Structure 1
Amino acid sequence: MDDARRMCVSLLAVFIGAVCAFSPTDSEFTFLLPAASKECFYQSAAHNGSVEVEYQVIAGAGMDVDFSILSPQGIHLVSEFRRSDGVHMVEPTEAGDYQICFDNTFSRFSEKMVFFEVILDSPSNDVGADDEWAGLGEPENLLEYKLDDIKESMETVHRRLERSRQMQTVLRAFEARDRNLLEDNLWRVSFWSCVNMLVMLSVALTQVYTVRRLFDDKRRVCS
């Protein structure tokens, strides 16, 4: 049942990963990267903005992948090999679609589960927010509320909330990765403990058998 479900998830990841574009907002995504395969995602960016990409391999043998970011012009901006995690910032950005790729072609048998987050900062959003606050400052009865102070406080709270949400997402990814490592290590420890126990029992039985044979030989010589 678990194998069938994992196979379905793998097929879904292959289908979605071939051509996948994110909306122009912050996004988190966890997907299954099959063995001997490569998955690419596309993120639209505005001119003179910024794109931050953070990724982690949370499951799979070795827990490592090859990672790359390509500009809309096809230029390799970031290239990493056999890494388990990383954080990269592209600033300033060009207008167009950036290509984010995860490569597992070096692994022939092991699939990997990868979590990554894309954080966008578009200058157009800041301009729109400034226009809204400027419009609120037109009536005279609102000037006494110090709109600049209120605006700065609200923006600070918003940035802190967004950062807290992002940190919680990253911590959940770390937790999933550590849990998978613990489960994998537990299986290895249990397996080798059983092997060692069988070897010890075999040695003990061999020693008992050898000693009994020695005593049997002595009885035969005396008679």
Structure 2
Amino acid sequence: MYIAPLLFALLVTLISGIYSKNVELTFELPDSAVECFYQEIEQNTSATLEFQVITGGQYDVDVKIEGPNKQILYQQNKMQYDSHQFTAQQTGVYKVCFSNEFSTFSHKLVYMDFNVGPEKALPGVGEHATVLTQLETSAGEIHSALNRIIDHQTHHRLREAQGRKRAEDLNERVFWWSLGETFAIICVTFTQVMVLKNFFSDRPSLYTVKNNY
């Protein structure tokens, strides 16, 4: 059983003046399958991809980033987690693909965070040419601190989900192993009782058989 309902979650898109977008989601990757995501990026715009396999198999996937001309910008095989930053050399549609083709029976639950462009500024900050006030500076620092807190919370939630899944798998294995041991003990006990019963059962002795003749 996978974590919660496997829904596309945390899909947030922020648009600023110079095409800034943030896509954060969790998705299920079936066995022997490939899932690709497409994003249009302007030239000279920086982008960052971060991913982590939460559950399934050996917690690994193949990851690839392709540019508009099919050029490979990033490619890794059987990775559990990683982060990659790049700058778009030309405007076009960029593709991020996650592959589970090497696995024939293990479903994966994958978290992905794809940031494109700079972060959107706080409302009212930077709209005037004067020096920032103490209040505006404090607001910017608080905003940065809250973003770091969100990142740490996301990281710990992923670790918690991964640990919970491992604990559930271990609990299931212990249950079936205990059930098998219980069945084996019952079989051995029944066999011993039957053997001992045969040892003490009344049988005609050889002397009695000879006298009958």
How would you bin the TM-score normalised by the shorter chain?
0.7 to 0.9
Q: Are the structure 2 counterparts of residues 161 and 97 from structure 1 closer, same or farther at C-alpha, using a change threshold of 3 Å?
A: farther
Residue 33 (structure 2) aligns with: 37
Residue 211 (structure 1) aligns with: 196
Q: Does 1:147 align with 2:132?
A: yes
**CA offset at residue 116 of structure 1?**
1.0
Residue 77 (structure 1) aligns with: 73
Instruction: Please show how residues 45-194 of structure 1 align to structure 2 within 5 Å.
Output: 45-90=41-86, 92-94=87-89, 95-122=91-118, 132-134=127-129, 137=130, 146-147=131-132, 151-194=136-179
Residue 201 (structure 1) aligns with: 186
Unaligned runs of 5+ in 2: 15-19, 209-213
Higher helix fraction: Structure 1 or Structure 2? 1
Q: Are the structure 2 counterparts of residues 156 and 78 from structure 1 closer, same or farther at C-alpha, using a change threshold of 3 Å?
A: same
Structure exhibiting the larger radius of gyration computed from Cα positions = 2
What stretches of structure 1 move > 4 A for 4+ residues in a row?
148-152, 217-223
Q: Are the structure 2 counterparts of residues 96 and 64 from structure 1 closer, same or farther at C-alpha, using a change threshold of 3 Å?
A: same
Task: Tell me which amino acid in the other structure corresponds to 1:133.
Answer: H
User: What's the Cα RMSD here?
Assistant: 3.2
**CA offset at residue 162 of structure 1?**
1.7
**CA offset at residue 178 of structure 1?**
1.8
Separation (CA, whole Å) in 1 of partners of 2:111 and 2:80: 11
Q: Secondary structure at the match of 1:133?
A: coil
Q: Secondary structure at the match of 1:178?
A: helix
Q: Are the structure 2 counterparts of residues 131 and 155 from structure 1 closer, same or farther at C-alpha, using a change threshold of 3 Å?
A: closer
Separation (CA, whole Å) in 2 of partners of 1:187 and 1:221: 56
Task: Tell me which amino acid in the other structure corresponds to 2:80.
Answer: S
Q: Secondary structure at the match of 2:173?
A: helix
How many residue pairs get aligned? The number is 194
Residue 27 (structure 1) aligns with: 23
**CA offset at residue 88 of structure 1?**
1.9
Separation (CA, whole Å) in 2 of partners of 1:201 and 1:108: 36
Q: Secondary structure at the match of 1:147?
A: coil
Task: Tell me which amino acid in the other structure corresponds to 1:82.
Answer: K
Q: Are the structure 2 counterparts of residues 59 and 220 from structure 1 closer, same or farther at C-alpha, using a change threshold of 3 Å?
A: farther
Q: Secondary structure at the match of 1:72?
A: coil
Task: Tell me which amino acid in the other structure corresponds to 2:187.
Answer: S
User: Is the CA contact (8 Å cut-off) linking 1:133 and 1:151 kept in structure 2?
Assistant: no
After superposition, give the CA deviation of every residue in 1:110-164 in whole Å (9 maximum; x if it has no partner): 32221111123339x67xx986232xx2xxxxxxxx4266554433332222222
After superposition, give the CA deviation of every residue in 1:54-111 in whole Å (9 maximum; x if it has no partner): 2122222333211112233322222222222222222x33333321111011222332
Which 10-residue stretch deviates more, 185-194 or 169-178?
Answer: 169-178
Percent identity over the alignment is: 32
